[in-house]
Every structure is written in C-alpha cells, then in structure tokens.
Amino acid sequence: MSEPEEHTKQRFEDAMRRLEEIVRLLESQELALDQSLALFQEGVGLSRFLKKKLDEAERRIEYLLAGEDQEDGATGDSGSA
C-alpha cells in the first residue's frame, strides 16, 4: 500500500498523535541522518493529510452555516408578510 493510501485510511486523531511522536523523536537529536530523513518524510505526509482533513472540515462547516443563514432568511421573510 502506498503512503498516501495509508494516510487516507487513518483517523485524524491517530495521524495527529503520530505526527507529535515524530516531532518528539526529531527533537531528541539522537537519530541517524537516514532515520531523521525517513521520519521527516513521514511527518510531511502526515502534515499534508491533516491539512486536507482540516480544509474539508472547514468547507463542511461553511456549507452548514451557509444553509443555516438561508433558513434564517427564509423564515424572516415569511414572518414579515
């Protein structure tokens, strides 16, 4: 399974925990260069996955709020007639 496919099956919270773990490992400065690069690469992939999920959630919230605004406008117009 490729890395992008792997990330799409993860939950947001799991990906966030893994990214935090990677940051701690990289900050420990006790890794070989190859290990650091591999973790960095994984972290970048997780970061992109998390950003995509957050963007999707934001669009969904905006959509829901826009629908709520339309409903408020519809009820306000009919109430004044």
Q: Going residue by residue through the chain, which has 81 residues, state the pLDDT in tens, using 9 for 90 and above.
A: 445 545 556 699 999 999 999 999 999 988 999 999 999 999 999 999 999 999 999 999 999 999 877 776 665 555 554
Q: For residue 13, what are the domain limits?
A: 3-79
Token pair, residue 77, equals: 């117009």
CB atoms within 10 A of CB 7: 19
Between the two ends of the chain, the Cα-to-Cα distance in Å is 60
What CA–CA distance (Å, rounded) separates 62 from 68?
A: 10
What's the CATH number where 10 sits? Answer: 1.10.287
Global pTM value: 0.69
Cβ contact 50:19 at 8 Å: yes
Q: Which of 26, 60, 58, 27 is nearest to 42 (CA)?
A: 26
